[in-house]
Chains A and B, each alone.
Chain A
Amino acid sequence: MEKIIEARRLVKTFGDFVAVDNIDFSVTRGETFGFLGPNGAGKTSTMRMIGATSPISGGELTVLGLNPMTEGPRLRARLGVVPQENNLDEDLSVVDNLMMYGRYFDMSRSDIRDRTAELLEFVQLTEKKNEKITALSGGMKRRVVIARGLIHEPDLFILDEPTTGLDPQARHALWDRLYRLKQQGVTLIITTHYMDEAEQLCDRLVVMDKGKIVALGSPQELIEQHAPGEVVEMRFGIDKLATVATQVEDLAPHTELLADRAIIYTDDAEKTIAAINSMGLEPETVLARRSSLEDVFLRLTGRSLDE
């Protein structure tokens, strides 16, 4: 399979601060590849190096066979980018924003007009095409940015936290669009701190923490490797958790104690709940569920993703 991105010992530093610390990964044509991690994990820095808008500090990086450091303009011409912030021209209409952007890629006006019609249909904004950006909702703006990033039919589409700050309906609408792109064979790179987003969209992903890759694989592989089986979550009142900590830790070989929650990894949730009841722990709530990527992150770092 053709490698679209290859990173070896990739490093990004800002002064003394190491944002990306020696990471290796590769992305294959047609796959959807995710970077999952909390804020400050180094996801955006990695995206910007791939997008040739931030020089690499060390290691090697090849994107679409090009060196982002020396062939930036040629590389950017083939990338579609959805940045964390929308950065649309708020005073212009939807179509004018797309026209303006398409022109940066040296497309002819008539090509941009044709492509705009197609893309607005795709992101379901055709009836909003002449509205100014200021008049759109957050979810609509996000869809405009997605259309904008696809205007020049890029070979690789990079999305930095595509759904952060959107309401659940808007998120699902966006996932649906991204899923369609994936079906069309577009190679997608997505960063997110939502595990459900990563599970829904990504073929493979890396879990990042403090600039390092702590795990790599498909969502299923990661769960099987790092957090197999089932999970029992107990909530305790404030201060109560500390008093029962040792008892909770005795319940299973793998447990995590958070501020107000205890998480127990188990093969059999029912048995664990029975044990909790017989020990008289009296948690406020008990929840049994299948383990998720969130648990993978928790097991690997001892912290939850949103902390």
Chain B
Amino acid sequence: MGLPLSLRVLEAEARVYRGVWRGSVVTGFLNPILYLFAMGLGLGTLVDANLPQGIEGVSYLEFLAPGILVATAMQTGATEGAWKVMGGILWMKTWHARVATPIGIEGLLVGHLMWSTVRVLLVSTIFAVVMAAFGVAPLFQALLAVGPAVLVGSAMASATTAFSVRLKRQEGLPMFFRFVVLPMFLFSGAFFPVAQLPDWLQPVAFVTPMFHGVELSRALVIGTTPAVAWWISVLYLVGWIVGFAILSVAPLRRKLTP
């Protein structure tokens, strides 16, 4: 798979990130602070007033925080999978430059997915710190949620990459975000339990990677019992990462080394 070479790609992406890290870290903090204030505390006051026994036995803020952490990771993974691919193949065409070096298609792809994972790790860790600051859980316990978040983010990075490498024009991406990423964000159990969905929609939520991550994250942070055995969810998410990576290889080869 050319691991040393994919590390070179990782290094290259880190070099690009060096130019934008300040803004990215500020957004990383601002995002969870806004969510937890507006929804956790603002909307949560109303929810908690209606549900004295709480959701799953906890306040809305405590229910929500580990869920949105995973939702944010999911979005970050999708964003990396989408725009990096477009930039590399269609806009700046830097991926065309990479395949003219010893770095082959596999090294390029693995390096790209590794970098997406690093981005998700960064965003999730910041989120976990903010979540702890909001008193949702002690810091070390909040940080446990980074595990499932990274799995979900990488799964989405891989799936979005497999989608993006098939696009001839960038117009497909806004559609992807509108019809795949946004519904997944809203309906995979971060904001309300999936059981609230109509029966026919529940299986759809069930197959999203985010649902599995939210279940795991909540189990680790507030001690709920996940709907599926934890190892099944983990295997499922790893399956997404590997499966969509494999599905990305052939179209990448067609685009970059025709």
Q: Do A and B bind each other?
A: yes
Residues of A within 8 A of B (CB): 14, 48, 51, 53-55, 72-74, 76-77, 79, 81, 83, 85, 87-92, 96, 99-101, 103-106, 148
* B258 and chain A: residue at smallest CB distance: A54
User: How far is A89 from B17 in the complex, measured between Cα atoms in Å?
Assistant: 12
Which residue of B93, B94, B104 is within 8 Å of A72 (Cβ)? B104
* A145 and chain B: residue at smallest CB distance: B97
* B257 and chain A: residue at smallest CB distance: A53
- Whether the Cβ atoms of A88 and B94 lie closer than 8 Å is yes
Q: Chain B interface secondary structure, helix, strand, loop or mixed?
A: helix
Please tell me if B178 contacts chain A, counting CB pairs below 8 Å.
Answer: no
CB distance from B2 to the nearest CB of A (A): 8
User: How far is A81 from B15 in the complex, measured between Cα atoms in Å?
Assistant: 22
- Whether the Cβ atoms of B16 and A92 lie closer than 8 Å is yes
Please tell me if B180 contacts chain A, counting CB pairs below 8 Å.
Answer: no
Interchain Cβ contacts under 8 Å between A and B, 24 examples: A53-B257, A73-B103, A73-B104, A76-B102, A77-B101, A77-B102, A81-B100, A83-B97, A87-B94, A87-B97, A88-B92, A88-B94, A89-B16, A89-B92, A92-B15, A92-B16, A100-B11, A101-B101, A103-B12, A104-B12, A104-B101, A105-B101, A106-B4, A148-B97
* Contact indicator per residue, chain B 92-119, by CB within 8 Å of chain A (1) or not (0): 1110111111111000000000000000
- Of A79, A85, A92, chain B has the most CB atoms within 10 Å of the CB of A92
- Whether the Cβ atoms of A73 and B92 lie closer than 8 Å is no
- Whether the Cβ atoms of A85 and B96 lie closer than 8 Å is yes
User: How far is A96 from B19 in the complex, measured between Cα atoms in Å?
Assistant: 11
CB distance from A2 to the nearest CB of B (A): 23
Which residues of chain B have C-beta atoms less than 8 A from A54's C-beta? 257-258
- Whether the Cβ atoms of A91 and B16 lie closer than 8 Å is yes
CB distance from B125 to the nearest CB of A (A): 25
Known A74-B102, A83-B97; further 12 A-B contacts with Cβ < 8 A: A53-B99, A54-B257, A73-B5, A77-B102, A85-B93, A87-B94, A88-B94, A101-B101, A103-B8, A103-B11, A105-B101, A105-B102
Please tell me if B129 contacts chain A, counting CB pairs below 8 Å.
Answer: no
User: How far is A74 from B94 in the complex, measured between Cα atoms in Å?
Assistant: 21
CB distance from B76 to the nearest CB of A (A): 19
Which residues of chain A have C-beta atoms less than 8 A from B93's C-beta? 85, 87
- Of B19, B94, B97, chain A has the most CB atoms within 10 Å of the CB of B97
- Whether the Cβ atoms of A106 and B8 lie closer than 8 Å is yes
CB distance from B158 to the nearest CB of A (A): 23
User: How far is A105 from B5 in the complex, measured between Cα atoms in Å?
Assistant: 9
Which residues of chain A have C-beta atoms less than 8 A from B55's C-beta? none
* A104 and chain B: residue at smallest CB distance: B101
Please tell me if B194 contacts chain A, counting CB pairs below 8 Å.
Answer: no
* A75 and chain B: residue at smallest CB distance: B102
- Whether the Cβ atoms of A83 and B96 lie closer than 8 Å is yes
- Whether the Cβ atoms of B16 and A83 lie closer than 8 Å is no
Asked, given contacts A87-B92, A88-B92, whether A51 binds B100 with beta carbons under 8 Å apart, the answer is yes
Closest 10 CB pairs of A and B: A104-B101, A87-B93, A73-B102, A87-B97, A81-B100, A77-B102, A100-B12, A53-B257, A87-B96, A103-B8
* Contact indicator per residue, chain B 113-156, by CB within 8 Å of chain A (1) or not (0): 00000000000000000000000000000000000000000000
Which residues of chain A have C-beta atoms less than 8 A from B5's C-beta? 73, 104
Which residues of chain B have C-beta atoms less than 8 A from A99's C-beta? 15
Please tell me if B247 contacts chain A, counting CB pairs below 8 Å.
Answer: no
Which residues of chain A have C-beta atoms less than 8 A from B94's C-beta? 87-89
CB distance from B20 to the nearest CB of A (A): 8
